[in-house]
Structure 1
Amino acid sequence: MKRFLTLILALAAACASSCSGSAERHISDFSTEVYTPIYASRFDIRGTLKDASTLITVHSPWQGAANLDQHLILLRGKAKAPRNTDVQAVRAPVRRVVCMSSSHVALFDAIGQAPRIVGVSGIEYIHNPIIRERSLCGELRDVGYDSNLDFELLTALNPDLILLYGVSGENTVVTGKLRELGIPYLYVGDYVEESPLGKAEWIVAAAELCDLRGAGIDSLRKIATRYNAQKTRLDPADARPKVMLNTPYRDTWFMPPVQSYMVRLIEDAGGSYVYPKNRSNASVAVELEEAYLLASGADFWINVGACDSLKELTAQNPKFAEIPAVVDRCVWNNNRRQTPAGGSDFWESGTVRPDVVLHDLRTILCGGDDSTYYYKRLE
């Protein structure tokens, strides 16, 4: 009888524990839509009916990662992380974050949470003044690059989460070591989003990590409202100025596809991309002679690499001096705001402020008055 009573009490305790939300959470628990992105295609947030825990799922977080999902469980209340599983879990809200990309910094800054960042990769390339000041004060450290991470320093920082990015695949050297050290991580796929507002929508994912989902949604709504108010809606018969992109890289000129981030911005600003036949999902290499002809037929030429003047641009190829956009001083680069080491704020805060980028491009295509935020006219 005593053994039977003990068993009953144990079962009751287990039931009470489960009902109070202290059970382990698994991916299968998250069947309720919490946030379905409007513009982004690379993440979603789901919840469980058992407690306030949520699951961030990142879809195809790097180029070529088709049908690959990565998950992060955000534990809340008394929920426990799953044991004996590859699923990452962290208790929300995260208070100490390491960002391996400057665009991750921008996500937290957009919701006023940059002080949560305790580590970055490449401080000399980060433009954010809060991050740079905290680095000078010793409140934030540079943890290194890629496989050359300073794991000893990373451990000392005691982060709740490290945000990674993948170029062509998972860096198993890094993730294997992070698992060994017990540091949760999440691959962020903002850079592979093709929609300008889709990149910005990752603000909501960052806000979810901080238990500030509402603030993230509100920030995105304001950005989207400003962006959509500026979008140029022209009749198909209206003439649009033609825009050339990029410069040669090792004697090869890469032209992005029509659905890419920059081309969408150009189209929304009222411009016409000079290479509409690239309807693939990646940039394609174009022969220099063909690219030269494309540039010669463009009204504007933007995003010209590291060039800071027309002299630097034409030094790459003397024939560039004959291109009409160069002759007419209609060459603009997105490097008005950069660090001494060359870190561009266009690829930092610009990723979460497509409304400001769109305003720049509209200003440029309307003749340009040098009041742009990210762009400057080359002289």
Structure 2
Amino acid sequence: MKRFSHFLLSAAACLAIACGGPSGHALSDFTTEVYTPFYASGFDIRGTDKDASTLVTVHNPWQGGSNVEQHLLILRDGAKVPANFDGQAVKAPVRHVVCMSSSHVAMFDAIGQVKRISGVSGIDYISNPYVQEHRLCGEVRDVGYDTNLNFELLAAMRPDILLLYGVTGENTVVTGKLRELNIPYIYIGDYVEESPLGKAEWLVLAAELCDLRAAGADTLQRIARDYHALKAQPAPEAPRPKVMLNTPYRDTWFLPPTHSYMIRLVEDAGGEYVYTKNDSNASVAVDLEEAYLLANAADFWLNVGPCNTLAELTAQNPKFANIPVVRDRKVYNNNRRQTPSGGSDFWESGVVRPDLVLRDLRTILSGGSDATYYYKRLE
């Protein structure tokens, strides 16, 4: 059984003595492991034997987070919030949800509950058909983004919960205003997970909010089963094909670390990442000349930004035209499925369907001719 943090134990000790609500329980009662993620490292769900309420603990939900914990109390059976509980609380099942990331939309869609979404951030960049269809009648609203959130609209909508994401830390301006408006929120840390299945497992938290925990776990198990079946297939003939990633941004080429999400997908698909120097927990800037040499040594080049054609790619740098993978048309981008405004479904539904992403990569690296779902070859 996982242990609570020192902070939570200390708080629970005080609450156990004097903070029980009308339901008769305190935070110290939440000791039963209701759901312990198998792949994700960023959350867990605990329960009590006194009622069906659960406590979600989110760990380090942004890049660089250390010893950060946030707590969401999900109330059921008429339970009340324990006095002096400083976390967020929401009654389940939630009926109106605002998603600040497109991946959050995909989580509810994966469990068949996308109709609970009433607000999103950046609606033009959302691929989900339900969201696009129901924006026209006002059933799904665009609430803005970051510090430009439309708090007046949120106050009128009165969502049951708002799902946030943080880049480097909590946006206290936003959370302070949400507290003032009495709108529950929680940071979702799927994007910092390094495991493809770890990212997908956050859909179980969405299911918990909908009182569909078992269905969420079943959905994750089916995705994991298909992922592992693909991973177990014979790899391309040795040596493994070498894979280059990304393109320069303002004359700087950022390459991810060797244990990151995308690299794990490449390796599980039978490929080998060309850049082995970065074993940190973040992408690093690589000298353009070094990156050019790496690209020359690659058998495939993936994820080339906004490019839709080889002409667009070589327009960034004429030297790219001489790279072997460009001449051999072995450049693939993950933007086959995108909105007219450029929103990518790869970073939306692909987050909860790593099995489909892996199938694409298997097809590409093996030189197969099967149709791909998220990727397209640049011509």
TM-score by length of 2: 0.92
For 1:362, the equivalent position in structure 2 comes to 362
* Aligned pairs, number: 361
Alignment-derived partner of residue 203 in structure 1 = 203
Unpaired runs of at least 5, structure 1: 1-17
Deviation sequence 1:116-145 (CA, Å, 0-9, x none): 000000100000001111111211110001
Report the CA distance between 1:279 and its aligned residue: 1.0
Matches within 5 A, 1:74-153: 74-153=74-153
Deviates more, 1:24-33 or 1:110-119: 24-33
Asked if residue 341 in structure 1 is aligned to residue 348 in structure 2, the reply is no
CA displacement at 1:189 relative to structure 2:
0.3
How far apart are residue 49 of structure 1 and its match?
1.6
Pairwise CA RMSD of aligned residues? 1.7
Q: Match of 1:177?
A: 177
Q: Counterpart of 1:213?
A: 213
Q: Which runs of 5+ in 2 are unaligned?
A: 1-18
Q: 1:364 & 1:113 partners in 2: Cα distance?
A: 32
Where does residue 54 of structure 2 map in the other structure?
Answer: 54
Q: Take 2:346 and 2:22, find their aligned partners in 1: how far apart are those partners?
A: 44
Relative to structure 1, the CA distance from residue 368 to residue 306 in structure 2 (aligned partners, 3 Å threshold; closer, same or farther) is farther
CA distance in 2: counterparts of 1:126 and 1:44, whole angstroms: 28
SS in 1 for 2:52: coil
Query: What does residue 272 of structure 1 align with?
Result: 272
1:288 aligns to what?
288
Matched, 1:260 2:260: yes
Q: State whether residues 236 and 270 of structure 2, in contact with CA within 8 Å, keep that contact through their aligned partners in structure 1.
A: no
Q: Distance in 2 between matches of 1:333 and 1:374?
A: 8
Q: How far apart, in 2, do the equivalents of 1:368 and 1:322 lie?
A: 24
Query: Which amino acid counterpart does residue 318 of structure 1 have in structure 2?
Result: P
Structure 2 match to 1:7: none
Does structure 2 conserve the Cα–Cα contact (< 8 Å) formed by 1:111 and 1:219? yes
Contact persistence 1:233–1:270 (CA under 8 A): no
How much has 1:360 moved relative to structure 2?
Answer: 0.2
Contact 1:25–1:81 (CA under 8 A) maintained in structure 2: no
Mark the CA change 1:97 to 1:291 in structure 2 (over 3 Å): closer, same or farther. same
**Partner Cα distance (1:70, 1:169) in 2:** 12
Shift in Å, 1:265: 0.1
Match of 2:226 in 1: 226
Residue 3 (structure 2) aligns with? none
| Structure 2 CA distance for partners of 1:209 and 1:351, relative to 1, 3 Å | same
Match of 2:69 in 1: 69
Task: Select the structure of larger CA radius of gyration.
Answer: 1
Q: Deviations over 1:47-103 (max 9, x none)?
A: 112111001111000011111011100011121013333211111111110000000
What TM-score, normalized to structure 1?
A: 0.92
Say if 2:235 and 2:269, in contact at 8 Å, map to a contact too. no
Q: Does 1:189 align with 2:203?
A: no
2:236 and 2:366 in contact (8 A); partners too: no
State the one-letter code of the partner of 1:70. Q
